[in-house]
Amino acid sequence: MSAHGLLVLDKPQGLTSREALDRAAKWFPRKTKIGHAGTLDPLATGVLVLAVGQATRLVEYVQAMPKVYRTRIRLGAMSDTDDADGTVTANPSAMPVDEATASAALAGFVGEIEQVPPAYSAAHVEGKRAYDLARRGSELTLSTRRVRIDRIDLLSYDWPDLELEVHCGKGTYIRSIARDLGARLGVGGYVTALRRLRIGPFTVDDAVSLDADADAAGCRLLPPAAAVGELPTLRVTADEARRLRHGQSIPAAGDGLTAVVNEAGDLVAVGHIAGGLLRPEKVVRMGDDPSG
């Protein structure tokens, strides 16, 4: 039987997101389509949402959800990757910074800010991944991008280390915060530990370990509708569901992006309502759905 849905994985340290996904793939039938939402660096651990089967069509909605990270940053040195996995260079002239100064500098990162991704990142430069170019020694000029940081809580500070909890939007690099905080304080900074605690409603408490077996992983598979749980929901009849799955619009009240479910509560499509019509943008086709 085909598997469709979302699986929240607790990614361990030392694996890329792709390597973690490949190991999780053993839990599902051969040739099952699997993707992930929101890349984590090898150093990072925590929430990695896997999309299985038809849910792979919904990855963009999970990626757009707000995120929460716990991180430890070391001041007084710099890294070419902006984390402890890179080549670290101490700043011999760095003087200890008091907590009040560090807190004031952190406050300047909250809100809508312009951020330059790390050189070793999945950001695209002329159609290629930045980390591929950086590893070849290419000179990189990465463009700034606007990101949203909702909150930064300073949990502990003992020079040169500080621990933060960061609430942020899509596309925010915690390594860039560490690098830019160090630059703002004039001492340098890089990430020594990073854990993603949450993506939208998905938390580490929901997550399964890579040490789990197929039965345990299968029991934790969430329905595709979980990918759009934060959108308004419209329930439709079997006939309306059939029309949507054939790319046809249906009459609907409301406005904007909407999740469409059938009479059983299963996700049919994600559509956009405007002018009294809902036009399907992403259609979910389950093989055992009679309305399909």
The letter for the amino acid at 54 is: Q
pLDDT for res 122:
57
Q: Which of 56, 40, 152, 68 is nearest to 106 (CA)?
A: 152
pLDDT for res 134:
42
Return the structure tokens found at 151.
């909150």
**Domains of the chain (ranges, CATH numbers):** 5-65+201-225 (3.30.2350.10), 67-199 (3.30.2350.10), 231-283 (2.30.130.10)
Dihedral sign for Cα atoms in the order 203, 72, 155, 102: negative
pLDDT for res 285:
83
- E-assigned strand segments in the chain: 5-11, 34-37, 45-52, 67-75, 77-79, 88-90, 111-115, 124-125, 128-129, 145-158, 161-168, 189-199, 202-203, 233-235, 250-251, 256-261, 267-274, 277-283
- Angle 263-264-267 from CA coordinates, rounded to 5°: 90
pLDDT for res 142:
79
Please write the tens of the pLDDT for every residue from 51-108. Answer: 999 999 999 999 999 999 999 999 999 999 999 999 999 999 999 999 999 999 999 9
Catalytic residues, by residue number, are 41
Q: How far apart are CA 175 and CA 77, in angstroms?
A: 13
pLDDT for res 232:
95
Dihedral sign for Cα atoms in the order 151, 149, 229, 255: positive
Low-confidence ranges of the chain (pLDDT < 50): 124-126, 128-138, 288, 290-292
- Find out whether 258 and 244 touch, Cβ atoms under 8 Å: no
- Element containing residue 190 per DSSP (H, E): strand 189-199
Place of tokens 């951020």: 115
